[in-house]
């Protein structure tokens, strides 16, 4: 019998008492994800899920209907959980409620540009501990590095509703099959191959990249005729959750570097609710995650919506990228 998410969480909470609130929270998230997936599958029940909301989020993106729907669903789930702080991409400031032991950083809807295209999108979450000092100075709760995460994961709303999750002891994948009782473990625990055969990047930004990034991609593209001595394929979905899941299953490298566009000096992705939770899941599956130079999980975030360059995936390829990205000149 396949392991259920419920049994997995119960066992983790029994083994480590500090994971009890985490287990409770992830149960609420799983229920929220099922409702979000149902809304997507139904095409929004008359609403246009990709319709703009005439409002920008804190990162400067126009909010879409589904961003708001997902934010509401996970805010309600957080309120029903032992969560004291809710830091969301879709809210300018962290929302504080209750005196629970957890802080949640969340990207309620990842891949918003793909909503109307029926391509996989998702929700990414990171759970951090709340210490006494954070209650007296709440601004500090989201300045903890990713190494402090108690749990992290992401749901994928796609052909399958999946949960990729880590509580710090490996990464697991759970599937919610229609008609089944909740989420059950799906396939083997991901083990990211050391070497990559594919890369993922938005190559239309090439002219804005630093010379090191450009040199890296030129050498990947040169394949077996170039210095890398072998061919690489390219895949880019444009929803990080989907690009990442491919890497969990068959390796590869994803990068979103900083570039010369205004506002993109540190790339596009946000550290607290995109790169840190992804880095935790990736490391726990045997991969590596950096900002191009430093281990992602050790970087202290600058604030709730801080951006960071991001490179993750197969260990040897993340290391190879670092060589190019950090080379002077």
Ligand X SMILES: O=P(O)(O)OC[C@H]1O[C@](O)(COP(=O)(O)O)[C@@H](O)[C@@H]1O
Site residues (CB under 6 A) for ligand X? Answer: 61, 89, 107, 110-113, 202, 238-240, 268
Q: Say whether 86 counts as a known binding-site residue.
A: no
The answer to whether the beta carbons of residues 307 and 270 sit under 8 Å apart is yes
Determine the residue with CB nearest Mg ion: 110
Nearer of residues 81 and 239 to ligand X, judged by Cβ: 239
Q: Say whether 109 counts as a known binding-site residue.
A: yes
Q: How far is the CB of 218 from ligand X (least distance, A)?
A: 19
Q: Say whether 198 counts as a known binding-site residue.
A: no
User: What, of Mg ion, ligand X, none, does residue 61 touch, CB below 5 to 8 Å by kind?
Assistant: ligand X
The answer to whether the beta carbons of residues 64 and 49 sit under 8 Å apart is yes
User: What, of Mg ion, ligand X, none, does residue 202 touch, CB below 5 to 8 Å by kind?
Assistant: ligand X
Burial of 35 (0-12, 13-18, 19+ CB in 10 A): middle
User: What, of Mg ion, ligand X, none, does residue 239 touch, CB below 5 to 8 Å by kind?
Assistant: ligand X
Distance CA 61, CA 83 (A): 26
The answer to whether the beta carbons of residues 273 and 89 sit under 8 Å apart is yes
* Cα angle value 143/148/151 (rounded, 5°): 115
Structure tokens at 194: 């050391």
Q: Say whether 111 counts as a known binding-site residue.
A: yes
- Tell me 260's DSSP state: S
Q: How far is the CB of 319 from ligand X (least distance, A)?
A: 22
Residue ranges of E strands in the chain:
52-56, 62-64, 83-88, 95-96, 102-110, 121-129, 151-157, 161-166, 171-176, 183-185, 198-200, 233-234, 253-256, 288-290, 310-313
Nearer of residues 100 and 122 to Mg ion, judged by Cβ: 122
Nearer of residues 109 and 150 to Mg ion, judged by Cβ: 109
Indicate if the alpha-carbon torsion angle 81, 82, 84, 88 is positive or negative: negative
User: What, of Mg ion, ligand X, none, does residue 238 touch, CB below 5 to 8 Å by kind?
Assistant: ligand X
Q: Say whether 274 counts as a known binding-site residue.
A: yes
Nearer of residues 134 and 268 to ligand X, judged by Cβ: 268
Q: How far is the CB of 110 from ligand X (least distance, A)?
A: 4
Q: Say whether 46 counts as a known binding-site residue.
A: no
At which residue do the structure tokens 């994961």 appear?
Answer: 153
Q: Say whether 126 counts as a known binding-site residue.
A: no
Give SS3 for 222.
helix
Nearer of residues 12 and 240 to Mg ion, judged by Cβ: 240
Q: Say whether 113 counts as a known binding-site residue.
A: yes
* Cα angle value 248/216/290 (rounded, 5°): 45
Nearer of residues 109 and 285 to ligand X, judged by Cβ: 109
Q: How far is the CB of 24 from ligand X (least distance, A)?
A: 26
Residue 37 CB contacts under 8 Å (≥ 6 apart), including other chains: 155, 157, 161, 176
Nearer of residues 110 and 243 to Mg ion, judged by Cβ: 110
Structure tokens at 76: 């309600």
Q: How far is the CB of 95 from Mg ion (least distance, A)?
A: 16
Q: Which parts of this chain interact with Mg ion (CB under 5 A)?
A: 89, 107, 109-110
The answer to whether the beta carbons of residues 129 and 103 sit under 8 Å apart is yes
| The residue count for the chain | 329
Q: Say whether 236 counts as a known binding-site residue.
A: yes
The answer to whether the beta carbons of residues 293 and 326 sit under 8 Å apart is yes
Q: How far is the CB of 140 from Mg ion (least distance, A)?
A: 24
Q: How far is the CB of 78 from Mg ion (least distance, A)?
A: 16
User: What, of Mg ion, ligand X, none, does residue 302 touch, CB below 5 to 8 Å by kind?
Assistant: none
Task: Return binding residues.
Answer: 89, 107, 109-113, 202, 236, 274
Task: Return binding residues for Mg(2+).
Answer: 89, 107, 109-110, 274
Task: Return binding residues for substrate.
Answer: 110-113, 202, 236
């Amino acid at each position: 019998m396949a392991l259920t998410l419920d049994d997995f969480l119960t066992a983790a909470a029994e083994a480590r008492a500090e994971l009890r609130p985490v287990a409770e929270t992830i149960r609420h998230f799983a229920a929220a994800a099922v409702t979000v997936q149902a809304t997507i599958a139904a095409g929004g029940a008359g609403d246009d899920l990709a319709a703009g909301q005439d409002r920008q989020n804190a990162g400067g993106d126009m909010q879409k209907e589904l961003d708001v729907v997902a934010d509401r669903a996970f805010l309600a789930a957080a309120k029903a959980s032992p969560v004291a702080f809710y830091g969301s991409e879709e809210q300018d400031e962290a929302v504080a409620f209750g005196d629970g032991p957890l802080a949640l950083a969340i990207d309620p809807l990842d891949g918003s540009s793909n909503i109307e295209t029926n391509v996989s999108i998702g929700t990414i979450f990171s759970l951090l501990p709340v210490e006494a000092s954070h209650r007296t100075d709440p601004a500090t709760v989201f300045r903890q590095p990713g190494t402090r995460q108690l749990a992290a994961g992401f749901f994928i709303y796609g052909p399958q509703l999946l949960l990729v999750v880590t509580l710090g002891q490996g990464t697991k994948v759970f599937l919610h099959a229609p008609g089944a009782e909740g989420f059950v473990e799906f396939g083997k625990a991901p083990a990211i191959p050391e070497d990559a055969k594919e890369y993922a990047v938005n190559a239309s930004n090439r002219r804005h990249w630093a010379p090191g990034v450009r040199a890296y991609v030129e050498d990947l593209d040169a394949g077996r005729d170039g210095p890398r001595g072998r061919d690489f394929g390219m895949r880019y979905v444009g929803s990080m959750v989907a690009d990442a899941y491919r890497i969990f299953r068959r390796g590869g490298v994803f990068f979103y570097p900083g570039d010369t566009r205004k506002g993109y000096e540190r790339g596009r992705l946000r550290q607290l609710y995109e790169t840190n939770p992804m880095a935790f899941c990736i490391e726990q599956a045997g991969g590596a995650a950096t900002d191009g130079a430093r281990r992602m999980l050790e970087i202290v975030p600058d604030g709730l919506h801080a951006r960071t360059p991001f490179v993750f995936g197969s260990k040897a390829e993340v290391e190879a990228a670092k060589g190019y990205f950090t080379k002077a000149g």
